[in-house]
Amino acid sequence: MKQLSLLLILTCIFISCENRKEQELLKREKALTLKEEEFEKKEADYKVLLAMRDSISALKDTVNNDAELITEWPEKLKGFWNSKMLCRESNCGQYVIGDQRNETWEFVSDSTGIFTNVLNNKKLVRVFKAKYLKDRILLEFSSDSVSKNRVKMNVVLDDIKENIIKGTQTITGQENCSARFSVELTLPQKK
């Protein structure tokens, strides 16, 4: 009987020790999980800061490299131009080789920079950010992050003459499909 009660007491002590060890182990696991989550947050903040640093460095490089960048449209370019675009290459479903598009482009500038408004039937459909260097015009447009169809457009107008401007527009759509259009801008005929 004494042995049985001693065995019973030892079993209870052993079980209580096991429970205590198990609870300590659970506490340590929770603490480790919290530290991992904190570390992930700090790592995400660090990556954001790195991206910001890189974009600032790239912007500095762009400002330094674009010393010849013009910040206002010259009089000969300001205003409305008729555009004719013809699809030359495409691996996108919504653009077919031979597609032709006609729009009105307006070269505008304000205190924040220079832009090109694109109008279709007198309705604004997009605004290109613009860079104007001595011998070429660079236009860029990206749809916003909430847009259903993500699109990026780049235009290089490198044949600038008195009444006609020519170049190329590249459209990159979802799943990296791309289409290339030839662009021809002409001044509207005065009535």
93 with 169, same domain? yes
Look-up: residue for tokens 């996108």?
Answer: 92
Q: Give the integer Cα–Cα distance in Å for 21 and 5.
A: 24
CB 52 within 8 A of CB 144: no
Q: Which domain holds residue 62?
A: 1-66
176 with 114, same domain? yes
Last residue of a domain, one of 66, 90, 115: 66
Strand 113-120 relative to strand 123-133, pairing? antiparallel
Maximum alpha-carbon separation in the chain: 120
Q: Is residue 4 classed as helix, strand or coil in its secondary structure? A: helix
pLDDT in tens for each of the 191 residues of the chain?
667 776 667 676 667 666 777 788 888 889 989 999 998 888 888 888 877 777 777 766 555 554 455 678 888 888 899 999 999 998 887 888 888 999 999 999 888 889 999 999 889 989 999 988 878 889 998 877 666 777 888 999 988 888 899 999 998 887 778 889 999 999 887 65
91 with 126, same domain? yes
- What is the predicted pLDDT for the residue at 190? 65
Would you say residue 74 lies in a domain?
A: no
119 with 44, same domain? no
Q: What is the pTM of this model?
A: 0.60
61 with 137, same domain? no
Q: What CATH number is given to the structural domain containing 120?
A: 2.40.160
The conformational region for residue 175 under phi > 0 = left, psi -120 to 50 = alpha, else beta, is left
Which residues fall within 8 angstroms of residue 182, CB to CB, at 6 or more apart?
85, 86, 88, 166, 167, 168, 169
35 with 4, same domain? yes
User: What's the structural domain count of the chain?
Assistant: 2
Q: Give the integer Cα–Cα distance in Å for 162 and 110.
A: 23
Q: Give the integer Cα–Cα distance in Å for 187 and 191.
A: 12
Last residue of a domain, one of 25, 44, 66: 66
Q: Which two tokens stand for residue 102?
A: 């006609």
Would you say residue 28 lies in a domain?
A: yes
How many CB atoms within 10 Å of residue 165?
A: 21
22 with 93, same domain? no
H-helix or E-strand spanning residue 36: helix 2-65
38 with 7, same domain? yes
Which residues fall within 8 angstroms of residue 75, CB to CB, at 6 or more apart?
none
